[in-house]
């Protein structure tokens, strides 16, 4: 429970515009009890947040252990598939204890970047070699506890990963990802329990990693619980080609035929789609999570985000491999990538891009009650400085444009989750030295 508290927001983005002077009351249940505009001065006893306050950002796609790859994978050249070899090596070194430490630090970095909720696409389930831990969900529990220790919310998207590719048995480095069958996956994940800061969702790693005849089991598990269901979709043309060879259809068509698509489902990346794929995703209101920094870092390509949204697919954003953790950069990159491809400007307004980073991102993670500054919503919000070298000089009423097209994670001054200050004046209140926590946890994986 959270003590009743009032915050005074110098400027607040309310979804369509920036409002000066807003008093926000936090109720005892950690939700926004009331929101009052026209508050020219802070009410007595209110906590003052100078700058622009936004709803908390939603990082809809994360692999926490990828944070250990930053810079290391930038040496030399290669492809997505050569990058994957570095990723497998990092995954092999994880234990429940080292994963907790790394994820706690990575999630603290997210809080410092204004992120209040993370969708953790989790597939490192077992010990190296594939043996279960004494608690078969030890790795997932480590991530849930890491989010609590860092003060943010998590949707654990427990991921089915059963095959090296279209029915091939897992390779040695993939054994710890696999439960053997979708039924065994469902039995294990059913033992996980949600808690106040944590929801349990599901994921299909990809059509290459879950055999077609087992897709429906994962989809059914999510449907029975009304849980979010995410899937890596058409990130690489090689996956599309292999799916055509194995099943005579695209990955999107295969997912549709096995009941995976729908309004609780989010396709991640969705980079290489046909016109029919886009129509399928739109007609089923399947969401799309774009991760522009990762997609360009891995040379994946530019996904058809504009056409997907026009077709009816809600957009969200993720930092994925954590080459950087900055949702402002992801929002900016989605628009700027489209400008490069089309040679025209203004595919989304700043308000629309912030909506993808907030309200629609939280909805993709199973929290439709987050991502808005309004009475009844979760009291999760973040404040960026309007007087940094990046943001100074702009008119406050153009705060949305400043946030998307100029600001960075370094401009975050405050992050509040459930009414509780997690980042205050740019410092994390629960993790005293986040850079040291990152450095130490990453060094521990190197041995």
Interval 300-317 mean pLDDT = 97
For residue 97, name the pLDDT band (cuts at 50, 70, 90): very high
Q: Annotated catalytic residue: which of 205, 230, 232, 269?
A: 269
The secondary structure of residue 195, as a DSSP letter, is B
> What integer pLDDT is reported at residue 297 of this predicted model?
85
Interval 368-394 mean pLDDT = 98
CA–CA separation, 94 vs 178, rounded Å?
Answer: 15
CA–CA separation, 255 vs 100, rounded Å?
Answer: 33
Place of tokens 């046909």: 274
> What integer pLDDT is reported at residue 79 of this predicted model?
64
For residue 92, name the pLDDT band (cuts at 50, 70, 90): confident
> What integer pLDDT is reported at residue 70 of this predicted model?
86
CA–CA separation, 39 vs 343, rounded Å?
Answer: 43
Largest pairwise CA distance in the chain: 68
Query: What rounded mean pLDDT belongs to the chain?
Result: 95
Interval 92-102 mean pLDDT = 94
The secondary structure of residue 320, as a DSSP letter, is B
For residue 394, name the pLDDT band (cuts at 50, 70, 90): very high
pTM of the model: 0.96
Question: Mind listing the pLDDT tens digit for each residue in 47-62?
Answer: 999 999 999 999 999 9
Q: Annotated catalytic residue: which of 158, 179, 277, 320?
A: 320
φ, ψ of residue 147 in degrees (nearest 5): -65, -40
pLDDT at residue 411 is higher than 90: yes
Question: Is 269 among the catalytic positions?
Answer: yes
For residue 167, name the pLDDT band (cuts at 50, 70, 90): confident
- Poorest-confidence range of 103-117, 170-184, 255-269, 347-361? 170-184
Interval 93-115 mean pLDDT = 97
Yes or no: say if 155 and 366 are a contact pair by the CB < 8 Å rule. Answer: yes
Yes or no: say if 256 and 248 are a contact pair by the CB < 8 Å rule. Answer: no
> What integer pLDDT is reported at residue 400 of this predicted model?
98
Question: Mind listing the pLDDT tens digit for each residue in 215-259?
Answer: 999 999 999 999 999 999 999 999 999 999 999 999 999 999 999
> What integer pLDDT is reported at residue 82 of this predicted model?
62
> What integer pLDDT is reported at residue 402 of this predicted model?
98
CA–CA separation, 353 vs 361, rounded Å?
Answer: 11
Question: Is 320 among the catalytic positions?
Answer: yes
> What integer pLDDT is reported at residue 72 of this predicted model?
77
């Amino acid at each position: 429970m959270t003590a009743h508290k009032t915050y005074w927001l110098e400027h607040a983005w309310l979804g369509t515009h920036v409002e000066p002077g807003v008093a926000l009351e936090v109720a005892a249940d950690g939700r926004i009890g009331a929101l009052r505009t026209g508050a020219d001065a802070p009410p007595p006893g209110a906590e003052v947040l100078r700058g622009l306050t936004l709803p908390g950002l939603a990082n809809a796609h994360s692999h926490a252990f990828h944070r250990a790859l930053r810079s290391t994978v930038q040496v030399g050249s290669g492809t997505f598939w050569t990058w994957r070899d570095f990723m497998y090596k990092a995954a092999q070194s994880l234990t429940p204890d080292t994963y907790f430490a790394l994820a706690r630090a990575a999630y603290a970095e997210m809080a410092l970047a204004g992120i209040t909720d993370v969708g953790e696409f989790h597939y490192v389930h077992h010990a190296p070699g594939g043996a279960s831990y004494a608690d078969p969900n030890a790795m997932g529990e480590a991530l849930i506890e890491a989010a609590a220790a860092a003060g943010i919310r998590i949707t654990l998207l427990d991921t089915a990963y059963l095959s090296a590719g279209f029915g091939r048995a897992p390779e040695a480095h993939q054994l710890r990802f696999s439960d053997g069958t979708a039924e065994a996956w469902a039995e294990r994940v059913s033992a996980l329990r949600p808690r106040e800061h944590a929801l349990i969702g599901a994921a299909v790693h990809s059509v290459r990693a879950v055999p077609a005849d087992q897709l429906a089991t994962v989809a059914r598990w999510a449907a029975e619980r009304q849980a979010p269901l995410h899937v890596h979709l058409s990130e690489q043309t090689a996956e599309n080609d292999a799916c055509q060879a194995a099943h005579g259809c695209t990955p999107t068509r295969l997912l549709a035929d096995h009941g995976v698509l729908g309004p609780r489902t989010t396709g991640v990346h969705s980079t290489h789609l046909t016109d029919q794929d886009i129509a399928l995703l739109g007609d089923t209101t399947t969401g799309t999570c774009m991760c522009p920094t990762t997609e360009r870092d891995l040379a994946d390509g530019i996904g058809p985000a504009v056409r997907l949204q026009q077709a009816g697919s809600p957009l969200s954003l993720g930092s994925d491999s954590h080459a950087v953790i900055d949702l402002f950069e992801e929002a900016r990159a989605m628009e700027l990538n489209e400008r490069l491809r089309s040679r025209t400007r203004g595919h989304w307004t700043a308000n629309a891009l912030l909506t993808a980073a907030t309200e629609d991102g939280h909805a993709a993670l199973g929290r439709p009650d987050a991502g808005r500054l309004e009475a009844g919503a979760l009291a999760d919000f973040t404040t960026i400085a309007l007087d940094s070298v990046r943001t100074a000089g702009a008119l406050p009423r153009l705060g949305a444009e400043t946030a998307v097209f100029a600001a960075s994670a370094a401009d975050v001054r405050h992050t509040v989750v459930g009414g509780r200050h997690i980042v205050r004046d740019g410092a994390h209140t629960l993790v005293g030295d986040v850079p040291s926590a990152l450095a130490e946890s990453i060094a521990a994986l190197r041995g």
